[in-house]
Structure 1
């Protein structure tokens, strides 16, 4: 994983261990924020949106991009939006994104219902979508 603006940290590229245990309900973390197309730079999905915060030199971010794009293509009404963490520092700070990749799962209204840090497996993303659809 990588810290926004800091480059790769000590985690190995491809480290998936514990992704599913890091998936947390957003309300438990105090995030009641609703995100819209203006925040994301792209439209929300009809059913849910997968928001990925990435950084330029983050290898796990590249793998995460492919996984989320695959899931969005498989599940009707789900969109994938990738945000460059270094280019959106105000949003990163507001949402307390500390490492990349960080994935937020939004429901159709743009409410954050799940968040996770690290490189996900496709099955974990699909399971996390269950809270949004």
Structure 2
């Protein structure tokens, strides 16, 4: 990435999207939710807690965490501007939801329902 990701504590952007993540991406391998994080991001710790709760409620949901410093190509392809960012994709890889900042459990659950 050409510039470091900024960190966001509360969701600054929640949107529906039609971006298609490639078949080579983690989404293409059956992942429903991508969590873009960075090791020095305090809000990312909160987001991990939210996603842990979601995983307990919906054990079949596949979640992949990608570090923007390590997975730069994937982060650039997904247009990640800040961490944490959650991207939810339909089974075909089409992005249906994106939230920058720490989402609530309810936001993630609603977005996952839209992806089905």
TM-score by length of 1: 0.73
Which structure would you say has the larger RCO, counting Cα contacts within 8 Å and 6 or more residues apart? 2
4+ aligned runs moved over 3 Å, structure 1? 3-9
1:40 corresponds to: 26
Q: How does 1:88-99 map to 2 (within 5 A)?
A: 88-99=71-82
Q: Which structure is larger by alpha-carbon Rg, 1 or 2? A: 1
RMSD: 2.7
The answer as to 2:90 corresponding to 1:107 is yes
8 Å contact kept, 1:4–1:55: no
2:103 corresponds to: 120
1:23 corresponds to: 14
**What is the Cα deviation at residue 129 of structure 1?**
1.4
**What is the Cα deviation at residue 40 of structure 1?**
2.1
Deviations 1:81-114 (A, max 9, x none): 1001111111211211010001001122222111
* Pairs aligned (count): 116
8 Å contact kept, 1:51–1:105: yes
CA distance in 1, matches of 2:37, 2:113: 23
Deviations 1:40-59 (A, max 9, x none): 299424xxx11100001001
Runs of 5+ unmatched residues, structure 2? none
2:48 corresponds to: 65
Change (3 A) 1:26 1:8: closer
